[in-house]
Amino acid sequence: MTGTLYRLTAHELCDAYKSGKTTPSQAVSSCLDRINAVDSKLKAFVDVWKDYAVDQAQASDDRWAKGAPKGPLDGVPIGLKDVLCTKQGFTTCCSKILRGYRSPFDATVVERLLNAGAIPVGKLNMDEFAMGSSTENSSVQVTRNPWNLRCVPGGSSGGSAAAVAADECAITLGSDTGGSIRQPAACCGCVGLKPTYGRVSRYGLVAFASSLDQIGPFTKDAHDMALVMNVISGRDPHDATSADVPVPDYTKALRADVSDLTVGLPKEYFTDALGQEMREKIEAAVKVFEKSGAKVIEVSLPHTDYAVAVYYIVCTAEASANLARFDGVRYGYRAPNAVSVEDMYHRSKSEGYGPEVQRRIMLGTYVLSSGYYDAYYLKAQKARALIRRDFTNAFQKCDVILTPTAPTPAFEIGAKTADPLEMYLSDIYTISVNLAGIPGLSIPCGLTASKLPAGLQILGKPFGEETLLRAAYTYEQKRGFTLGQPPIS
Ligand code: GLN
């Protein structure tokens, strides 16, 4: 059994530990072997903590042997996006400016996972500072899609998605500012959840756009998603924006029943921008809900067209403020041989940041500058309020909204790097969700003719994660297929 232990979900692993069929040490070595076997092709990990993971697994073996696991994920191998602060190893956001940086503390989510017994096996590749949709903006390496190595894994959490899809570990964490969990989950064929803004503490998440950022998991199924959400959700005194809303037991939501749900399909999402094949996959998924007793209606999100523009004003404005701290003084890279302080700032940033990050800082500084603030930033905030109101109105008529996660399946490496705007359009279905602060989950809904995964996006009301998990679980039980194993070729 040790040979393919890496394929198991977290809940399967914990059952097997409990019954004594296997041990955390066996599972962790199985995952480390798997990483060894496939990661030179995939390049999902930027750092693997082999010795640390092996040590932690031994401690977990002892706890299970005594019948006293530390928590609900004891002995489960996990991976962490390099945007999360960890005392172990480095925290670099895959940027040259933070190369070699060691965090003095663990992010709250990391601390909570460790307290639950999870075993981090390393850090995962991402677009620099989480800016991108393909992981091609990483200063370290380009991650490949396990379903087709010529394609991108999506982004910015491409390493986190590829690692779960290729069974390098059972669970990973990513971050989602405009789609960075859901879009790569869709591209790689795993489950990805962006929780409600405030559901999960952002303490120790290196900030990109603070009013949009949220941490969330990648898993192999809805059951594991519920398990991780139980661990990472809830108020944290270190993050003033984390909500003081009680955390339910999400595993109670795992019932295959949607007969009491009304499903809304936003007409603005089913236009010509959506490829024919993707449309068919989504329509087939909607049929599964209908057959399971859900009522399906059309809804309208009239301000959808403004979402991409609004997002790229708000996120760049916030990024320009957040990234000001990397100036070569306190954090990260400092350019050598500067002749003045100003020269040092200038050169450290020019040499330390990649082109996409520089573009965003410049855009963000521009939309906030006096004379342009009213025309861009203020107007974007007003439009954001309208986008949020669209969802409030739609959710008066339905319980969940179903949409495609991305307009196309994973694209080829290099296909969109020449045109930033085309890259930005990869997120047309995910961005509004962050602007509104609501939760969104992506779940695989089939393979295209060219054998690439398609993702179904399920959106819910604020703090409606239970309903999302129930819908996802029901769909998993009733869809009548699984994606199978990615070929990694
Ligand atoms: N692709 C979007 C961007 O480039 C979203 C990124 C994210 O969610 N972190 O900003």
pLDDT given at position 3 = 78
User: 247 and 339 share a domain?
Assistant: no
**Residue 170, domain member (yes or no):** yes
Tell me the Ramachandran region of residue 377: left when phi exceeds 0, alpha when psi lies from -120 to 50, beta otherwise.
alpha
Contacts of 485 (CB under 8 A, 6+ apart): 167
152 lines ligand 1 (CB under 6 A): no
Across the range 345-362, mean pLDDT stands at: 97
Q: Which of 81, 133, 430 to mutate to test the pocket of ligand 1 (most atoms within 8 A of CB)?
A: 133
Q: How far apart are CA 118 and CA 79, in angstroms?
A: 10
Across the range 403-410, mean pLDDT stands at: 96
Q: How far apart are CA 279 and CA 404, in angstroms?
A: 8
pLDDT at residue 1 tops 70: no
Tens of pLDDT, residues 151-164? 999 999 999 999 99
Tens of pLDDT, residues 207-262? 999 999 999 999 999 999 999 999 999 999 999 999 999 999 999 999 999 999 99
pLDDT at residue 139 tops 90: yes
User: 23 and 119 share a domain?
Assistant: yes
User: 35 and 160 share a domain?
Assistant: yes
The percent of residues in the chain predicted with pLDDT above 70, rounded, is: 100
pLDDT given at position 273 = 84
User: 212 and 354 share a domain?
Assistant: no
pLDDT given at position 224 = 98
**Residue 438, domain member (yes or no):** no
β-partners of residue 63 are none
**Residue 185, domain member (yes or no):** yes
Q: How far apart are CA 489 and CA 484, in angstroms?
A: 15
Q: What is the CATH number of the domain that holds 153?
A: 3.90.1300.10
**Residue 13, domain member (yes or no):** yes
Tens of pLDDT, residues 23-34? 999 999 999 999
Q: How far apart are CA 168 and CA 317, in angstroms?
A: 36
pLDDT given at position 2 = 59
Alpha carbon 18 to chain centroid distance? 30
**Residue 460, domain member (yes or no):** no
**Residue 38, domain member (yes or no):** yes
177 lines ligand 1 (CB under 6 A): yes
Is-contact 61 24, C-beta < 8 A? Answer: yes
**Residue 264, domain member (yes or no):** no
CA dihedral defined by 438, 439, 445, 447, rounded to 10 degrees? Answer: 90
User: 68 and 177 share a domain?
Assistant: yes
Strands 453-459 and 191-194: unpaired
User: 252 and 373 share a domain?
Assistant: no
- How far apart are the CA of 27 and the centre of ligand 1, in A? 33
130 lines ligand 1 (CB under 6 A): yes
pLDDT given at position 156 = 98
Across the range 358-370, mean pLDDT stands at: 97
Angstrom CA distances, 274 to 290, 293, 418, 453, stand at 22, 26, 22, 15
Q: Report the candidate in 62, 135, 153 with the shortest Cα–Cα distance to residue 453.
A: 153
User: 193 and 328 share a domain?
Assistant: no
CB count, 10 Å around CB of 353?
24
Q: Report the candidate in 316, 270, 284, 277 with the shortest Cα–Cα distance to residue 420.
A: 316
User: Domain end: 383, 412, 447, which one?
Assistant: 383
User: Domain end: 383, 403, 438, which one?
Assistant: 383
Q: How far apart are CA 145 and CA 140, in angstroms?
A: 16
132 lines ligand 1 (CB under 6 A): yes
pLDDT given at position 71 = 98
User: 215 and 361 share a domain?
Assistant: no
pLDDT given at position 248 = 98
Give the domain range for residue 122: 2-257
User: 36 and 125 share a domain?
Assistant: yes
> Which residue is it, tokens 């200038």?
346
pLDDT given at position 170 = 98
**Residue 291, domain member (yes or no):** no
User: 68 and 215 share a domain?
Assistant: yes
User: Domain end: 365, 383, 401, which one?
Assistant: 383
User: 237 and 348 share a domain?
Assistant: no
pLDDT given at position 148 = 98
Number of domains in the chain: 2
176 lines ligand 1 (CB under 6 A): yes
Predicted confidence band at 267 (pLDDT cuts at 50, 70, 90)? very high
Tens of pLDDT, residues 282-322? 999 999 999 999 999 999 999 999 999 999 999 999 999 99
Atom of ligand 1 nearest to the CA of 133: 1
User: 96 and 234 share a domain?
Assistant: yes
Q: How far apart are CA 256 and CA 280, in angstroms?
A: 23
Q: What angle do CA 184, 212, 446 make, to 5 degrees?
A: 25
Is residue 211 flagged as an active site residue? no
pLDDT given at position 272 = 87
